[in-house]
Amino acid sequence: MFHKILIANRGEIALRVQRACRDMGIRTVAVHSTADAEAMHVRLADESVCIGPPPAKESYLNIPSIISAATITGADAIHPGYGFLSENADFADVVQAHGLTFIGPTAEHIRMMGDKITAKTTMANLGVPLVAGSDGVVNDLAEARAVADRVGYPVLIKAAAGGGGRGMKAAARAEDLEDAFRTARAEARAGFGNDAVYIEKYLDRPRHIEMQILADSHGNVVHLGERDCSLQRRHQKVLEEAGSPVLDARARDALGETVTSALARIGYRNAGTLEFLYQDGHFSFIEMNTRLQVEHPVTEMVTGIDLVREQIRIAAGQELGYRQSDIRFEGHAIECRINAENPDTFMPTPGRVSAFHAPGGPGVRVDSALYQGYVVPSNYDSLVAKLIVHAHTRPAAIARLRRALDEFAVLGIDTTIPLHRRIVDDPDFQAGNYTIHWLERFVNAEPRG
C-alpha cells in the first residue's frame, strides 16, 4: 500500500480524497495555487506545496509543478480527483514515467474514452447500444446532411473532444443544420483545440442514467448500480439520485451485465462510469468517464462502498475481494450540487462566507470545503458544497433532503440552496417524473422573488 498520496486537486474533492487516505492511514500532500493558501484542503493535509499563481493553467494544470511537488515530498502516488488533470492521458503517462502511481485507469484507456468517437466505436463493437447517429467524424456539410436525413431531425452536433456540457449544437430542422454545423466546429476548435465533430439524433425526452463500475487488475469487474442525473442545466448535472426512480432491479442488472462484460473485455481498470440516455425503455450509450465523478457519494450511500478507498486499493494492485452478488443496494440517496451562484441568474458569487452551518443528523452527509471566514475565489468552478441524503425509501429521502436544506446556512454569498428547496417541493420531482429537459423549463418558468 502507498505511504503518501499527493492529491492534485482543490475544494471538496481534494478533501474527499484526503479523508479516504486518512481512514486508510496514508499520509497526504495537498497542492494549491496562491489563491488557495487558506483553503481547507491545505489546512487539513499533512503537507502542502504551492504550485503556482491563481489561473488553473499555471497551477492545478501545471504538470511539471505537480510532479516536482510529488518528488520533493516523497509521495508514491497521485490522485487527480475530477476535472483538472483527471482525464489527461499525458499526465497519467508522465506520472508513471516518474516512478509514481496514477490512481486511475491506464493512459491508454483514458485516451480511448477521452475521444468520444473512439469511445462510441469501441462500445458499439462490444455490443453496447448507441444513440443513432454518424459512424464517426462528420467532415463536411454534405456528410452532415446525409446523416441528419438518415436519422431524422432534430439532431445534435457534438465535439469529439467535448466535455462539461460544452461543445454541443442542436439543429431542429434542415434549415438550421449549416449554421449549427459551422458553429459547433468553430466552438470545438476554440474550446478543445480539435474541430472533429459527430452527429447524434437529438432525443426529446430521455433520462440521463449512468452506471458506476469498479475493476481491479486481476480481471474482476463489478457494477455499483445506476445514478439518475437527469436534472441538468446547460447539460450540467444539478441533482443526482441512486437509484433511478424509473429503473427496477431487473433493468439495473441487465444494464450492469452489459457494461461489466464490455469493460472486462477491454481490460479496464479502476473506477469508471458509462453514461446513457434512456428513452422508451432503451438505453443509448453517450460517453464514458474514466475518473471519480462529482456525484459518486449517492452510490456510496446505497452500497456502503467507499469509492475512493477502492480506487486507491485497486491502484495499489489489490483485489476487489467481493463479487457482484455480494453488492447490496439499500434505500435511496439524493445529492444536491450547491454552487456559489445567484439562484435565479446563475451568475457566480465569489466572496467571503460570513457564517456557515452544515446540516446533520441521520442520513445526512455534507462534502464541502467551506468554513466561516473563507473567501470563495473567483478563479475556479463554483461548486462549493454537496449535500447528500440517504433513507430507506425515495419519499423518506426527499423529506430528509427538505429538512437538511432548511438547516443549511451559507451566509455572505449567494448559493443555489434556494433552487434546491424549490425543486424538492415540486410535484413532478416528488413523483420522479422528469427528463433531461425538465429543469431548464422549471428554472425559466419559476416566479422570482
Output phi, psi for 231, to 5 deg: -80, 100
Kindly write out the interface string for residues 404-443 of this chain, putting x where it contacts ligand ADP by CB under 6 A and - elsewhere.
Answer: --------------------------------x-------
Q: Tell me how far, at minimum, the Cβ of 45 lies from ligand ADP, in Å.
A: 30
Give the 3-state secondary structure of residue 384: strand
The CA distance from 9 to 33, in Å, is 10
156 binds ligand ADP (CB under 6 A): yes
- Interacting span for ligand ADP (CB under 6 A) from 143-151, 183-191, 195-203, 421-429: 195-203
| Closer by beta carbon to ligand ADP, 94 or else 247 | 247
Q: Pick from 131, 247, 364, 419: which binds ligand ADP (CB under 6 A)?
A: 131
| Closer by beta carbon to ligand ADP, 232 or else 244 | 232
Q: Pick from 45, 180, 188, 203: which binds ligand ADP (CB under 6 A)?
A: 203
DSSP secondary structure string for all residues of 154-174: SEEEEEEEEETTEEEEEESSH
Give the 3-state secondary structure of residue 404: helix
Q: Tell me how far, at minimum, the Cβ of 190 lies from ligand ADP, in Å.
A: 15
The CA distance from 384 to 44, in Å, is 17
Q: Tell me how far, at minimum, the Cβ of 52 lies from ligand ADP, in Å.
A: 27
For residue 72, what is its C-alpha cell? 520533493
Question: Has 16 been annotated as catalytic?
Answer: no
Q: Looking at 10, 27, 227, 291, which residue is catalytic?
A: 291
232 binds ligand ADP (CB under 6 A): yes
| Closer by beta carbon to ligand ADP, 208 or else 223 | 208
Q: Is the dihedral of CA 86, 88, 91, 95 positive or negative?
A: positive
Residues 6+ apart with CB under 8 A from 146: none
200 binds ligand ADP (CB under 6 A): yes
* Segments of 191-331 assigned E as strands: 197-201, 207-215, 221-233, 236-242, 270-279, 282-289
68, 54 contact by CB (below 8 A): no
Q: Which of 336, 339, 164 is nearest to 240 (CA)?
A: 336
For residue 419, what is its C-alpha cell? 433552487
Q: Tell me how far, at minimum, the Cβ of 229 lies from ligand ADP, in Å.
A: 7
Q: Tell me how far, at minimum, the Cβ of 228 lies from ligand ADP, in Å.
A: 11
340, 411 contact by CB (below 8 A): no
Q: Pick from 74, 152, 165, 361: which binds ligand ADP (CB under 6 A)?
A: 165
The region that residue 272 occupies, defined by phi over 0 for left and psi between -120 and 50 for alpha, beta otherwise, is: beta
Kindly write out the interface string for residues 246-285 of this chain, putting x where it contacts ligand ADP by CB under 6 A and - elsewhere.
Answer: -----------------------------x-x--------
101, 315 contact by CB (below 8 A): yes
- Interacting span for ligand ADP (CB under 6 A) from 134-142, 156-164, 251-259, 320-328: 156-164
Q: Hey, which residues are catalytic here?
A: 291
Positions touching ligand ADP (CB under 6 A) are 131, 156, 162-166, 200-203, 206, 208, 232, 235, 275, 277, 286-287, 436
